[in-house]
Structure 1
Amino acid sequence: MDTIIQVKISLRGTKPLIWRRILVEKTSTFETLHEVIQIAMGWTNSHLHEFTAAGVRIGQPLEEFDMDYGEKLIDEATVTLESVLTHGTQTVDYTYDFGDSWEHTLIVEQWLPVDADLQYPICTGGKLNCPPEDCGGIPGFYEMLRIINDKGHPERQEMLEWLGGIYDAKAFDLQEVNQQLTAFFHSS
């Protein structure tokens, strides 16, 4: 029987918590999981990333960055979720952008039977907008919010221009995320 894995993705250090819940096929690779996370969270996939699961580093091997720090980086394109994840609750760490260090906790919430009426991967829920890329990690994100929410702040206009005119911290559009997932994974 085919099985789906339900995963909750939480961006560490955010309060209230910025999170997404996704359903992915157990036969998906970690490379696919990375793409799903990028779309579901709202990242632009413009930085390096890495998973750590059960003490194993999984990511994109890049020879110019593959220094020998003891443990080898396993190629995410060759590792399926079912080969690493186990039934029951398990957590996986996912770091995106080693400069800003967006640290995510992925919690494997449950294993479910395939629903023939759904196309996978799919996002089933979430809260709040993803921080903008290159804003300086969690501290920079909260400083940016403080500046744009203070109408009298001298840097407010410049910050809004950098953001493209607007940033809605509460925005999360489930339908838009799923349209992007469908376009990425199911268009020919």
Structure 2
Amino acid sequence: MGSQNRAWKRRTYLIDREFQLKYIFMLASIGAGSIALFGALAWWAHTAALEAGSGSEGFAGMTILWLTVLAVIGTAVALGLFGLVFTHRVAGPVHVMNLYVEALAAGHYPRLRPLRKYDELKKFFDRFSHAVDRIRAREAEEAQVLGQALAAFQPLAQSDEARAALKTLEELHLRKREAVNKPVSGSHPVAPSR
């Protein structure tokens, strides 16, 4: 019980090394580039004030202040636009997979489409697609075996209980066949089946 109360700590921070390092490098580059540009402009204002003489220190101070304001706004805009592009590349695949999961939960197999060229999470999506394909293949095999069993048992069903049990199995067989043979579009949510 004592081990359950201890805080769980993640020790591996780079889980998807390629994906994470790519965006860490991009963010670091945008930040470093913005600060370097600001530093260069501030140095220019400082040296210009020194060359102009002692009367222009107030001008240099105001120039540096305005450069600071522009650097803050420019960095915020650049990182905001980068965040928009990045989140779109991640949120798009997550949204699509959520629609696929809704279809699966409703008892339908989604018609999977590949991700866009610049989308992220491609490895995860490939694994997800592979899992859906394997589950669908297993369900198709089960539907086939169930159909063969129904064909063998139908002539033997003499009692009302046996016919009722066969009817339940036929409904299950039909549901499995329809789920496997009629994939739904993954672009729209599927209404849950009753």
- Give the TM-score, by structure 2 length: 0.26
- Give the TM-score, by structure 1 length: 0.27
Q: RCO (CA 8 Å, sep 6+): is it higher in 1 or 2?
A: 1
Name the one with the larger strand percent.
Answer: 1
Name the one with the larger helix percent.
Answer: 2
Higher-Rg structure is 2
